Structure 1
């Protein structure tokens, strides 16, 4: 497998990234409520993410990808996806380590992500990578938590108060 590569808005691999996310998130159908935001993803939305944040992929076509979005207090990780045939090979961990490197370069002290309440295997996988639960949120219109927020400190960056 190749090293992670940052994708640009005109990268032809963006179509493959969209397909990868749709395949990788398909198992959530009927398991999470509300449905995944991946249903609203388009090629244009991926191009916007490349301009407003970052998309990184591993492989050609990408076997794994992650979205990184700088926020004032953290680097937000989104749409981490690994093709089923490559799960368990360390690609997700490689992308999370890349995210920590990018956060440090940006002076951001924390990696943050959200995962759905129902996806307990995802919670456990992120915990194994050093994330801890820091909160829960509810999607608009829901009176119960629908997402778990998890964070991981970025070594070598100053903690913010």
Structure 2
């Protein structure tokens, strides 16, 4: 199954549901709460109009998604999610490979993502995919890091 790009005219309810289900495990673990709480199907449609929303779906419901945002010097990767029933089947890797392809098409030399500091299992996954920690940031009102920034330099593997 190849990733399919959704546009603002597409039904975002299934993607919204996937994101909420896939991110539910982190609810009690992260502080502050996820920005996902502010996301709606309508805001996803707006994102699909200005960014790149990609899904893998064998039918009407997506099994995986990712939101790619081209920036001046990198491709920002956000909201990577895989349905629980499809975890361990390589869909994250497929979407990551797709992000690498999109970065190359757009002439961008790196991919950047952020992960909450508490989600150490995700940090290990990103490291296996060629990312290195390049920064730590704090959400407004916090005096400690709440997120880690990871970067994958594509020029070193090109």
TM bucket, shorter chain: over 0.9
Q: Secondary structure at the match of 1:92?
A: helix
Show structure 2 runs of 5+ residues with no match: none
Corresponding position of 1:35: 33
Distance in 2 of aligned mates of 1:44 and 1:71: 23
- Listed one character per residue, the Cα deviations across residues 47-102 of structure 1 (whole Å, up to 9, x for unaligned) are 11111111000013100000000111110000000000110110000001100110
Matched, 1:70 2:70: yes
Corresponding position of 1:107: 107
Distance in 2 of aligned mates of 1:55 and 1:156: 26
Q: Flag the 1:136–1:88 CA change in 2: closer, same or farther, 3 A.
A: same
1:56 to 50, 54, 57: 54
Q: Secondary structure at the match of 1:102?
A: helix
Alpha-carbon shift at residue 44 of structure 1 (Å): 1.4
TM-score (norm 2): 0.95
Distance in 1 of aligned mates of 2:7 and 2:49: 8
Corresponding position of 1:97: 97
Distance in 1 of aligned mates of 2:156 and 2:45: 31
Distance in 2 of aligned mates of 1:50 and 1:108: 20
Matched, 1:148 2:151: no
Corresponding position of 2:88: 88
Q: Number of residues paired by the alignment?
A: 156
Show structure 1 runs of 5+ residues with no match: none
- Listed one character per residue, the Cα deviations across residues 5-28 of structure 1 (whole Å, up to 9, x for unaligned) are 00011112x211100000000111
